[in-house]
Amino acid sequence: MQKIVSLLLVVVAIIHLIPLTGALGPQRLQALYGLTFDEPNILILMQHRAVLFGLLGGFLLWAAFRPALVTLALIAGFVSVLSFLGFALLAPSHNALIGRVVVADWAALACLVVAAALHLRGLR
């Protein structure tokens, strides 16, 4: 059961690590999100966001192999995924690349739900 939880956390980690490439600059951010980042302040914020996603993805990956961290990783993953999905649902519209992120986060949410159920079952 723990191996399945670990595998699911690895999948969620990979989904969270992909945006880390946005720290490389505006061209990579544009490829990820289909937006231009000509305004320096937005670029700084988005590159910082990319680094934070890298930290979260790294933590999720680490937790996949450290059972003592699984509960905290699941909480962090749920906060990340549910907040993004909530913002996306509240937005009047978004482009196709953001839509792709929404789909990835729905997949991450499914992995987190299954991982959390298995993890809780294993704690009993």
Assigned token pair, 88? 């996306």
What single string gives the DSSP state of each residue in 47-87?
A: HHHHHHHHHHHHHHHHHHT-GGGHHHHHHHHHHHHHHHHHH
Q: What contacts 101, CB < 8 A, 6 or more positions away?
A: 33, 84, 88
- Amino acid identity of 108? A
pTM assigned to the model: 0.93
The predicted-structure confidence for 73-105, as pLDDT tens digits, reads as follows 999 999 999 999 999 999 989 999 999 999 999
State percent of the chain over pLDDT 70: 100
Cα separation, 20 vs 4, in Å, equals 25
pLDDT at residue 122 greater than cutoff 90: no
